Amino acid sequence: MRQPNWHQLILSALLFAASASVAVAQVLPEDRADALYHSYSGDNIEITGPSILLRKKLTKDFSGYANLYIDSISSASIDVLSYASPYKEKRTEVSLGGDYLLGDTIVSGGYTHSDENDFNAQTAYIGISQDIFGGLTTVRMGYARGWDTVSQVGNATFEEDVDRRSYRLGVTQVVTKNLVMSFDFEGITDEGFLNNPYRQVRYRFDDPSVPDGYLWQPEVYPNTRTSSAFSLGGRYFVKPGSAIYANARLFDDTWGIGAWNAQAGYVYTTQRNWSFDLSYRYYTQTAADFYRDLFDYQDQQNFMARDKELSSFDSHSLRFAASCDIPVQSWGFVERGTASFTYDFMYFDYADFRDVVTGGPVGEEPLFNFSADVFQLYVSFWY
């Protein structure tokens, strides 16, 4: 007797599930254009630039988009001041993609290219979104693949590759007529040169010729990393134009980093169509297994890191955003416009990363912390 083909059976069941669902067709994203200016200032790093998004339905069942994003970076961060020189650079990112509507299914795809003088990244993704249970549940799946090339200014012979894969699964669920919730999982695997070629670790060096009591050597990271993240979020309707929202995420990876964050906020719209958004976000993480602020001696471990993003720290973010309508009645094809302002205050408090620029007895320097001001100013038009 012929054995059943399990792949065909599963595919058939999936198709049956899709066809049996009550037909409440999905809709494509709205046609809109956004022009944003962003500014980040913290730890002597200034990053500014524009982001411009255009999205348009090109046929009745296909919506395409293009996004141009630029970071102009000027950095004299604590890492730079510790063992390098302040620098300036520019990163340009271009994204193209589209969404194809097929009944209550949307198939999405896109490509992103990011370019800076010492880092080149390409990412391609494909995803599918399916409404089931009469439109009360939306299931999303996605796969992304990235190819990065890492180089180093001043070292023409240095060039390394990174291969990235991302697997995403998400469910958005209408719970009541006032509550919608969303669950997401993302697993990411990286392989290749994963550390920053400029970053250094410090190690004790007790010698009268070294007054600081320590020296520097390049970081060494594992060449693979796998991480998983789960997030849960929800929005609760309060009154027209106003909602409470909250989300939380759990994260861990094969480098030993464990993290979680949570955010809660409130969107409020006045009768004159001014909209305000106030939220608070908390983030905390443990250090990677191979992270140390100060190693005992040179080449102490096969993997060594002193990247503060891999250390133990907490951060607090407070957000205030406001937007208002722009009168567009006489603008022809433009149906609606808004002008928006967003400010995020961020505070980072490190538990095992010391401020060697301020200095002190080796290994007893004050713990590092800094705050950052993040501004966004943007206009959006729907047409």
Counting contacts by CB under 8 A, is residue 48 touching another protein? no
The continuous run of DSSP H or E covering 59 comes out as: strand 45-59
Cα(30)–Cα(204) distance, integer angstroms: 58
The CB-of-93 to another protein minimum distance in angstroms stands at 5
Positions in 143-182 near another protein (CB under 8 A): 144, 146, 148, 164, 166, 168, 172, 174, 176-178, 180, 182
Nearest to 150 by CA among 161, 140, 135: 161
Counting contacts by CB under 8 A, is residue 106 touching another protein? no
Counting contacts by CB under 8 A, is residue 224 touching another protein? no
The residue among 8 and 209 lying less far from another protein, judged by its C-beta, is 8
Counting contacts by CB under 8 A, is residue 99 touching another protein? no
The CB-of-177 to another protein minimum distance in angstroms stands at 4
Positions in 4-43 near another protein (CB under 8 A): 6, 9-10, 13-14, 16-17, 20-22, 24, 34, 36, 38, 40
Half-sphere exposure of 373 (CA within 13 A, CB side): 4
Half-sphere exposure of 204 (CA within 13 A, CB side): 11
Task: Kindly tell me which residue out of 28, 66, 215, 229 binds another protein, with binding defined by CB under 8 A.
Answer: 229
Counting contacts by CB under 8 A, is residue 272 touching another protein? no
The CB-of-207 to another protein minimum distance in angstroms stands at 29
Which pairing describes strands 214-218 and 275-285: parallel, antiparallel, or unpaired? unpaired
Nearest to 109 by CA among 123, 121, 122: 123
Nearest to 132 by CA among 172, 92, 167, 183: 172
Structure tokens at 90: 């520019």
Structure tokens at 98: 């589209």
Site string for another protein, 324-363 (x = CB under 8 A): ----------------x-x-x-x-x---------------
The DSSP call for residue 366 is P
Task: Kindly tell me which residue out of 264, 322, 357, 374 binds another protein, with binding defined by CB under 8 A.
Answer: 374
